[in-house]
Amino acid sequence: MSETLERYFVPEPSRFPIFGSVALLLFGAGAALWVNQVKAGPWIFFLGIAILIYMLFGWFGQVVRESQGGKYGTRVDASFRWSMGWFIFSEVMFFAAFFGALFYVRVLTVPALSSGENEALLWQGYSGAWPNAGPRALDTAAVEPFTPMGAWGIPAINTLILLTSGATLTWAHYGLLKDKRGQLKLGLLLTILLGAIFLGFQAYEYVHAYGELNLRLDTGIYGSTFFMLTGFHGLHVTVGAIMLTVMLCRAVAGHFNSQHHFGFEAAAWYWHFVDVVWLILFVVVYWL
């Protein structure tokens, strides 16, 4: 009976994990020193990042070689599917913490601060109308007023861009399934370009916020939630775009066939996840 089960691929000992650990040690120590204005901090931090990049290249490179070498059977493929799903679930929970913070302050904290004894004894005159930068912003001499980010300019365009990118990615996937390599490559390229345009707009929006709207990370709770949510999302778009770029390179190099292409699918799942986060973000951060 046991012959029915194919052998599961177990990799050889590998040096990459330990590189990754050293990298994160330097990364963590460097960041902790840096935020405390220790001179060596940024150096250690970037050294860590450099090692991390080396490690990621090496590690994923090896995975790609193993995959191309046909070492992964259907069971390994299933493992990859499960793990990518669970990984995305963990990312969902990470964003949930920040969305949770936004809901909490909007539904509970700000109304509480601007009413009853909180208002009467501690924060007189705080109306709590969203968006606001908290009661200390009442003192307009100390805190300059800001303009909130509108929803229907760049953010709306960005929504369209991301939705379109989801479509181009699916189109690329169809290309792959039907063995139309040109469609695959073009679809991927378009998706990456749309991602890049999205990021460009986002960067422009940040410059605009800091320069003209006086909306900054330290603009009270509105600034905090706005920049942390959109910032982490932007970071995820960047990572997603890098993943897709790798997939494009692999497609150009002739990797993937219509049966065997989980690398591509994983990147696609991730991209769609990032898309969905944006939609929620657009509604609750920009619109409402």
Partner 1 sequence: MGLAARIAASTLLLVPAAAAQAQGAPARYNLQTPVTGLAEQIHDMHTLMLVICLVIFVGVFGVMFWAVIHHRRSRGAVAANFHENTTVEIAWTVIPVLILLGMAWPATKTVIAMKDTSEADLTIKATGYQWKWGYDYLQGEGEGIRLLSSLSTPREQIEGGAAKGENYLLEVDNPVVVPVGKKVRMLLTANDVIHSWWVPAFGVKQDAIPGFIRDGWFRADKEGVYRGNCAELCGRDHAFMPIEVHVVSAEKYAAWVAEHREKAAGAAADEAREWSMAELMTRGEQVFGTICAACHQANGKGLPPTFPPLDGSQVVLGDKAGQIDIVLHGRPNTAMAPFGGALSDADVAAVITYTRNSWGNHTGEAVQPAEVKAGRNKS
Partner 2 sequence: MAAVIPDPLDHHHHHAPSGLMRWLTTTNHKDIGTMYLIFSFVMFLSGGVMALTIRAELFQPGLQVVQPEFFNQLTTMHGLVMVFGAIMPAFVGFANWQIPLMIGASDMAFARMNNWSFWLLPPAAILLLGSFFVPGGATAAGWTLYAPLSVQMGMGMDFAIFAIHIMGLSSIMGAINIVVTILNMRAPGMAMMKMPLFCWTWLITAYLLIAVMPVLAGAVTMILTDRHFGTSFFNAAGGGDPVMYQHIFWFFGHPEVYIMILPAFGIVSQIIPAFARKPLFGYASMVYATASIAILSFVVWAHHMFATGMPAVGQLYFMYATMLIAVPTGVKVFNWVATMWRGSLSFEPPMLWATGFIFVFTIGGFTGLICAIAPIDIQIHDTYYVVAHFHYVLVAGSLFALFAGAYYWLPKWTGHMPSDRLGKLHFWCSLVFFNVTFFPMHFLGLAGMPRRIPDYALQFTDFNALATIGAFGFGLSQLIFLAVVVKCARGGKPAAAKPWDGAEGLEWTVPSPAPYHTFEEAPLVK
Residues 104-123 that bind partner 1 (CB under 8 A): 112-113, 116-118, 121-123
13 prior amide bond cis, ω within 30: no
Q: How far is CA 198 from CA 24, 76, 107, 208, in A?
A: 29, 35, 30, 15
Listed ranges 96-104, 163-171, 180-188, 191-199: which one lies at the site for partner 2 (CB under 8 A): 96-104
User: Residue 1 or 182: which CB sits closer to partner 2?
Assistant: 1
Strands (E), 13-52: none
Stretch that binds partner 2, among 102-110, 156-164, 243-251, 279-287 (CB under 8 A): 102-110
Q: What is the DSSP string of 154-201?
A: HHHHHHHHHHHHHHHHHHHHHHHHTT-HHHHHHHHHHHHHHHHHHHHH
Radius of gyration of the chain (CA): 23
Footprint (CB under 8 A) of partner 1, residues 245-284: none
204 binds, among partner 2, partner 1, none (CB under 5 to 8 A by kind): none
The two three-digit tokens of residue 232, written as one number: 């982490």
The CB-side HSE value for 52 (13 A sphere, CA atoms) comes to 13
Q: Note whether 207 binds partner 2 by CB under 8 A.
A: no
Integer Cα distance of 45 and 23 in angstroms: 9
CB of 205 to partner 2, least distance (A): 18
248, 185 contact by CB (below 8 A) = yes
Query: Which 133-162 residues touch partner 1, going by CB under 8 A?
Result: 135, 139, 141-142
Binding mask 224-253 for partner 2 (x = CB under 8 A): xx-xx-------------------------
Q: Which does 40 bind (CB under 5 to 8 A by kind): partner 1, partner 2, none?
A: none
CA atoms within 13 A on the CB side of 113: 19
> Closer CB to partner 1, residue 2 or residue 36?
36
Task: Report the distance separating Cα 143 and Cα 220, nearest Å.
Answer: 10
Chosen from partner 1, partner 2, none, partner binding at 142 (C-beta under 5 to 8 Å by type):
partner 1
CB of 113 to partner 1, least distance (A): 7
Which of 61, 83, 144, 153 is close enough to bind partner 2 by CB under 8 A? Answer: 83
Segment near partner 2 (CB under 8 A); pick from 105-113, 178-186, 269-277, 280-288:
105-113
Q: List the one residue from 50, 57, 73, 82 that touches partner 2 (CB under 8 A).
A: 82
Smallest distance from partner 2 to CB 1, Å: 5
Distance CA 85, CA 278 (A): 19
Yes or no: say if 230 and 285 are a contact pair by the CB < 8 Å rule: yes
Tokens coding 186:
């073009």
Q: Is 136 in the site for partner 2 (CB under 8 A)?
A: yes
30 contact partners, CB below 8 Å, separation of at least 6: 40, 41, 42, 43, 44, 45, 46, 47, 48
Angle between helices 262-281 and 154-177 (to 10 degrees): 160
Binding status of residue 268 toward partner 2 by CB under 8 A:
no
Min dist. Cβ of residue 125 to partner 1 (A): 15
Q: Which residues bind partner 1 (CB under 8 A)?
A: 112-113, 116-118, 121-123, 135, 139, 141-142
